[in-house]
Structure formats: structure tokens, C-alpha cells
Structure 1
């Protein structure tokens, strides 16, 4: 597993801002939402729908950073900016990289959740 795909500082900040007991629930919600968003993104990449890719990448990037999946967030934001800058063809080339890093990042966060959280 790629536990290094989870930014522990962000997790600790979330605990400080909320509480350790809500973190598993937040992670579960994020994982579920991200899986649905990745399905929409995969379909948009297949259809070469750059406007959907831009919107969904933006949302995935924001939520991923909030939950500590910094590398996934960075790639999603890169794709978002390519789309916004009229470089849709370049963004389309990132399809498989995005799915790969997303799957690894979500699995790493799921693994991190099994380690537990302490206030």
C-alpha cells in the first residue's frame, strides 16, 4: 500500500479542527463520493467531454486535498487547469494516470483509516 499518499499533517489538522471520532465517517463519505466522481470522470474522458472533466477534476481536487490525498489533488487540479487553459487534448492524455493515482490514493486512505485516530 502507498500510505505515503496520505498527508498525515492534514489528517492531524482535521482531528484538531473536528474530533478523532468523526474522521472515519468523513473518510467514508469522501471515499464513496470520490468513487462516484471517478465514474463520472471516466465516462467524461471516454466521451472527451472537457467541460465535465474540468468541473469534476476541480471538485475531486478540492475534496482530495481536504482529506489528505495531496498527490491526487495535485493531478486533478493540473487536469482542471489544462481544461481551463484550452489544453483539453493534454488533459485527455492524463486519463489513465488519474485513475491510477486515484485508486492508489483512495486505497491508501482506507488503509490509514484502519490505523485509527486519536485526539
Structure 2
């Protein structure tokens, strides 16, 4: 598992800002939301619905960074930027990469959760 997909400094800051006991719940909620957003994005890519891609990429970028998924956040922000600058054919080239990065990022975060937070 590529734990580099999860920024440990951000996880530690979240523990300081909240409580180690709430971290599993926060991660579970994030994973559920990310899977939902990924389904929306997958359909939007298929439909070439760039407004949905832009909105969901923006949201995914923000929520991913909040839980230390920097790689996913960066890719989502890149896709959002491409939508904003109307590089629409280029946006479509990131469809499968996004799905793979989401999958690996979720796996890495689940692995981090299994390690515990105390």
C-alpha cells in the first residue's frame, strides 16, 4: 500500500484539532462521500458534462486535502483548472487516471485508519 498518498502531517494536525477517537468516523465519512463524488464524476466524464466535472473536482480537491490525500487533491484541482480554462478535450484524458488515484487514495487512507490514531 502506498502510504505516501496520505500526508501524515495533515493527519496529525487533524488529531490535534479534533480528537484521535473521531478520526475513524471522519475517514469513513470522507470515503463514503468520495465514492459518491467519484460515481458522479465517472458519469459526468462519460456524458462530457464539464460543469459537473468542474464542480465535483473542486469539491473532491478540497475534501481530499483536508484528510491528507494530496495526490488526489492535486489531480482534482488540475482537472478543475482544465475545466475553468476550457481545455475540455484534455479534461477527458484524465478520466481513468482519476478513477485509479481515487481507488488507491481510499485504500491508503483505509490502511492508515487500520494503524490507529493514538
Q: What residue number does 2:73 align with?
A: 73
- Distance (whole Å) between structure 1 residues aligned to residue 76 and residue 91 of structure 2: 10
**Cα distance in 1, alignment partners of residues 89 and 6 from structure 2:** 29
Q: Hey, what does 1:25 align to over in structure 2?
A: 25
- Structure 1: runs of 5+ lacking an equivalent: none
What does residue 14 of structure 2 align with?
Answer: 14
Rounded to whole Å, the distance in 1 between the matches of 2:26 and 2:69 is: 13
Aligned partners of 1:37 and 1:83: how far apart in 2? 17
Structure 2: 5+ residue stretches without partners: none
Q: Aligned residue for 2:109?
A: 109
Q: How many residues align?
A: 118
Q: Give TM-score scaled by structure 2 length.
A: 0.99
- Name the counterpart of 1:51: 51
Query: C-alpha offsets along residues 52-76 of structure 1, whole Å, 9 cap, x if unaligned?
Result: 0000000000000001100000000
CA distance in 1, matches of 2:63, 2:82: 19
What secondary structure does 2:82 align onto? helix
